């Protein structure tokens, strides 16, 4: 689906903010393109169909740290001119050398801090951030580093009695992504899963949370994405 059409559909569902995904795997909004064509990308994104950009998600496909940081800085510049103050990054895969990841992320956060932008490291299975203690260590070792919480990754494939206690990292959360999830299925229709949305929001607010809530419904066969997004919006409005 073309970006303009996707944004129009989101606006029609009565959302007011949008998280823009700058992923190298996308057909559009690639970090490498932003690096080389920043003014043109900004021009294309000026009209967001009544939507306000609330967060960027950046995924860069480069193993070279210098090139990675250069592309990330281009995304930071775009965020600055679009008045976006939060960017989500993915952590390295599980098993990646911890000290190397700290060094890469430290450089990114240093660049973000210069521009008044907050970095949230996505909590995610099969990444370094699947472990809550590692999440806390990364935030401790990298001044200014925060977390983007995706609760689904702490429900899927975890028995109810053995799920990590995500409340232990809630004071470090700057952004949240939501969908409904069950132990044996990563995404289910809203209301059919095991995500305790009300409890999560209550705990976040108790920790002084002021960030955004993104609805992250993954397109699947036989899933009415628009209906699920509408249901999630209404649920969030009722809880807030």
Global pTM value: 0.95
For the chain, 240 residues long, give each residue's pLDDT as a single digit of tens.
Answer: 778 888 999 999 999 999 999 999 988 789 999 999 999 999 988 877 789 999 999 999 998 999 999 999 999 999 999 999 999 999 999 999 999 999 999 999 999 999 999 999 999 999 999 999 999 999 999 999 999 999 999 999 999 999 999 999 999 999 999 999 999 999 999 999 999 999 999 999 999 999 999 999 999 999 999 999 999 999 999 998
Q: Residues of 222-232 as b/e, b for ≥16 C-beta within 10 angstroms?
A: eeeeeebbbbb
Q: What is the pLDDT of residue 88?
A: 98
pLDDT at site 184: 97
Of the candidate CATH numbers 3.30.390.30, 3.40.50.300, 3.40.140.10, 3.20.20.150, the domain formed by 122-240 belongs to: 3.20.20.150
pLDDT at 3: 83
The three-state (H, E, C) secondary structure of 53-120, written as one string? EEEEEEECCCCCHHHHHHHHHHHHHHHHHCCCCEEEEECCECCCCHHHHHHHHHHHHHHHHHCCCEEE
| Residue-range domain boundaries for the chain | 122-240
Do 194 and 183 touch, CB atoms closer than 8 A? yes
Q: What is residue 23's predicted lDDT score, i.e. its pLDDT?
A: 95
Instruction: Give the span between the Cα atoms of 29 and 161, in whole angstroms.
Output: 40
């Amino acid at each position: 689906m073309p970006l303009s059409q996707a944004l129009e559909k989101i606006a029609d569902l009565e959302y007011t903010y949008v998280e823009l995904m700058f992923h190298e795997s996308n057909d559009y909004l690639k970090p490498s393109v932003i690096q080389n064509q920043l003014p043109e990308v900004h021009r294309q994104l000026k009209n967001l169909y009544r939507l306000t950009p609330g967060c960027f998600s950046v995924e860069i496909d480069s193993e070279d740290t210098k090139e990675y940081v250069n592309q990330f800085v281009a995304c930071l510049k775009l965020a600055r001119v679009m008045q976006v103050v939060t960017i989500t990054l993915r952590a390295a895969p599980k098993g990646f050398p911890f000290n190397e990841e700290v060094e890469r992320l430290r450089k990114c956060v240093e660049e973000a801090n210069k521009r008044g932008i907050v970095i949230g490291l996505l909590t995610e299975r099969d990444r370094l951030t699947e472990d809550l203690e590692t999440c806390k260590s990364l935030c401790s070792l990298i001044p200014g580093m925060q977390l983007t919480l995706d609760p689904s990754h702490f429900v899927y494939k975890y028995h109810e009695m053995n799920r990590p206690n995500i409340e232990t990292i809630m004071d470090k959360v700057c952004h949240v992504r939501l969908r409904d999830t069950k132990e044996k299925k990563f995404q289910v229709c809203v209301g059919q899963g095991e995500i305790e949305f009300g409890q999560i929001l209550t705990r976040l607010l108790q920790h002084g949370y002021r960030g955004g809530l993104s609805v992250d419904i993954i397109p699947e066969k036989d899933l009415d994405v628009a209906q699920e997004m509408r249901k999630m919006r209404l649920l969030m409005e009722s809880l807030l």
